[in-house]
Amino acid sequence: MNILVTGANGQLGSELKKIHQLFPDYLFDFTDIDELDITDARSVQTFFEQKKYHFCINTAAYTAVDKAENEQDKAYLINSEAVKHLAQQCAEHHTVLIHISTDYVFSGKSYSPYHEENNTNPISIYGKTKLEGEQIALQTNPQSIVIRTSWLYSTFGHNFVKTMLRLAENKSSISVVADQVGSPTYAEDLAQVIVQIMDFVLKHKDNSLFGIYHYSNEGVASWYDFAHAIFQLKSLSINTLPIKTIQYPTPAQRPSYSILDKNKIKNTFGIKIPHWRDSLARCLEKLGR
């Protein structure tokens, strides 16, 4: 089974690289912009003509939420237009597309966890481009699985966990937003789930499996809770101060509530999801080595 992974140098792509040797039945081609520029339709077409891929895992994305407000064209190019190129080739070559999306497709005005069929209403350019990308994927290639996730972190790349640890090196007190609520997600957990989903799709060959799913670690946290847990698990004496979003203005709006209901992915694929604190502890242990 040949698997194409795009955005392989990002957090999720790097986690897939780390675990791929555990799955010898799958032959992974890990690509990033140097190997495959997914914004170039011709390059994508040529790539798919050279080898038959059974799955394409698109982890590539423009994820600079604030910069996207001023770099709208670039965000749309990577998060929307590039997805079209991939989905078109996947459709033509009968390849299953697994596309990663985000909780930011929702407005955050809800008071109960978001289901896959709930109305989307992104409040940032990043969210709008990601929503357009997932819509294009589903419309262009019927064999597409969109996985919306939230608050992704990893031992790789830039993320909230690493930022907090870096700040803690020079600060005794850190202010963190406490009125935005979501679920931190360890990219290693999501990488393993993606492989589980591929296994399931291959065994069952059921078209009803395609569509949108939500995945994050279990449990609920604010960014303040997340930061406090990082310092607590690392035994760092940092005075963590809760502040409101209005006290930390950013160019892009964030959803104040983005809890994802995960019953569909659990029930469909038989997936067990770890609690975010347990996954955070595993990640911090690996970072400490």
The whole model's pTM is what? 0.96
Q: Report d(CA 93, CA 85) in Å as an integer.
A: 12
Q: Which whole number is the average pLDDT over 69-75?
A: 97
Identify whether the C-beta of residue 126 lies closer than 8 Å to the C-beta of residue 104.
yes
The pLDDT assigned to 115 comes to: 97
Q: Which of 60, 64, 281, 279 is nearest to 190 (CA)?
A: 279
Average pLDDT over residues 28-44: 96
- pLDDT average, residue stretch 182-199: 97
Q: CB neighbours (10 Å) of residue 216?
A: 28
Q: Give me Rg for the CA atoms of the chain.
A: 19
pLDDT tens string 137-147: 999 999 999 99
Which pLDDT belongs to residue 205?
Answer: 87
CA distance 44 to 37: 7
Structural domains of the chain ordered from first start: 2-159+184-219+259-274 (3.40.50.720)
What is the length of the chain? 289
**Tell me, what's the pLDDT at 187?**
98
Contact 84, 131 (CB under 8 A): no
pLDDT number for residue 262:
98
Q: How far apart are CA 34 and CA 57, in angstroms?
A: 17
Catalytically active residues are 126
Please give the DSSP secondary-structure letter assigned to residue 195.
H
DSSP helix, strand, coil percent of the chain (3-state; round to 5): 45, 20, 35
Position 288 confidence tier, pLDDT thresholds 50, 70, 90: confident
Query: What is the pLDDT at residue 289?
Result: 65
Q: Sign of dihedral through CA atoms 233, 236, 242, 245?
A: negative
Is residue 268 predicted with pLDDT exceeding 80? yes
Over residues 115-142, the pLDDT tens digits come to 999 999 999 999 999 999 999 999 999 9
Mean pLDDT of 4-24: 95
> DSSP 3-state assignment of 76?
helix
pLDDT digits (tens, 9 = 90+) for 201-246: 999 989 999 999 999 999 999 999 999 999 999 999 999 999 999 9
> Is the model's pLDDT at 264 over the cut of 80?
yes
Reply yes or no on whether the pLDDT at 86 is more than 70. yes
Q: How many CB atoms lie within 10 A of CB 168?
A: 18
Per the CB < 8 A criterion, the answer to whether 238 and 174 are in contact is yes
Q: What is the pLDDT of residue 94?
A: 97
Buried b (16+ CB within 10 A) or exposed e, 127-149: bbbbbbbbbbbbebbebbbbbbb
